[in-house]
Chains A and B, each alone.
Chain A
Amino acid sequence: MVCFASGVCFLFTPYVFGFEVVAFILLLTLSIIAMFFDILPVLLAALLSALIWDFFFLTPQFNFQVGTTEDKIMLSMYFIIVLVNAGLTYKIRKIEKEAREKEEKEQTLKLYNTLLNSLSHELRTPVSIIIAATDNLMTGSPQLSADDKVSLIHEISKASLRLNFEVENLLNMSRLESGFLKPKKDWCDIAELIYGVLRRSKEQLKAHVLIVHIEENLPLFKIDNGLMEQVLVNLINNAALYTVDGSLIEITAGSINNELVITIEDNGNGFPDDEASKVFDKFYRLKNSKAGGTGLGLSIVKGFVEAHAGKVKLKKSIFGGAKFIIEIPAESSSTIYAS
């Protein structure tokens, strides 16, 4: 950049302006450089520009010798101004960076507090249930009927499964946060994946009407089976948790423009328009949502889909509820091997 500016100046010097103007143009160039580069390259550019100015513009030209005392003073002044300029810009940038880091830290702290609030509720509820129920069982109070005991045991079981689900989500979140999450891609039979998830979530889905539509002859796709399983588990459980019994959940899978497209929609109440853009944010929970859930589920969905370079969108379902669309660009087996 210095060479370029000097070159341009050199062409015009004899006709338009003298060497003093060149010094100003070089100074301007250096100021711009200082705004974008680190201190070292700027100092190097400063030195280079001083030498160029001396060599090409100061009389005697094409020589590092400096003629008059005036020119000597000018050259050293030029050099000092450039250095001060570089130093100041560097300092300003450093302060800016510190301010940015501080702001980020505050943001993280705020997020952390939200996390603590929602987590302490979500984790403490099942833990309280387990402690209270086991206390009841251990005191062996004679008023406790056999039926009571069975229902206490059921509550313990339900609470521990809920706890397990939350812990699983937390662990997944920390996998995402660590930044080391790399999908382990392998060939996946999408029908096997979807029906496997439905089998695992059978308990949560028993009061819902399921429709599954998988495109005929859908090829295999190369994806991370475990991550996609978690994506579907979270979306399907969400649909089951936030719609009333008897609601419809439709799951489709197909291939559009070499992308794997999976949709999950329901005929529940859907998401309010003004909140739809925030649902994938970490710890975001709808204003009037019922208890259960830390607000991690959908952000894990987003994180895992994006780890596949894919996209997840929330639309309104034609059934009136929510429709999640997952699009994943993935290698597919266009040929079906039969022998």
Chain B
Amino acid sequence: MTRYAMVIDLNTCVGCNACMAACAMENQTPVWKNKWRTYVHDKEIGMAEQVRRRFFPRLCNHCSNPPCMTVCPTGATYQRADGIVMIDPERCMGCRACAMACPYDARYEVSYHDIKEGRAFYGEEELQRDSPGMDKCSFCAHRVDKGLKPACVETCVGSARLFGDLDDPNDPVAQVVASGAAQPLMAYLGTRPNVYYINDMKRRG
């Protein structure tokens, strides 16, 4: 079996936002309203002299136990055998129950207006999406199916993003996760996310 996952090294993320740009061009996201499939936060964490600034890339966590899939009334949200959580745009009715259920704020709405803007922004012929509904990161499933890496991983300047198969013991991603060096977000919720972060707790400034 294959179980795709991503590891993000917060030590090497420099906050250049190249991943956001690559993702936007690859997946034609509605950037005009500041909606992205992946987003690099400028984050401050800690208190007093312990406070740290951190660039913190976020995206859909492709949970093994995805609450967005459970709540979706029409089954528009589904999970592939390789673990990638997808949205069937033909089944989505935009009820936003998935956004309500997602603890990672990974989902956003695409409207008729966005489709119209998208035609102007990305090109009349080039725009792949013609139907409004909910949207989120798909781990670039269309690229993965061709043996390519997701656009954000491909373009990352500091190689902060690693993409691989958790079920392959020889895959670097599986090895990093198995070592315990990388941790998922909010594991206490029981969603079993498949995006892991290598902490940068020793860095200051």
Q: Do A and B come from one complex?
A: no
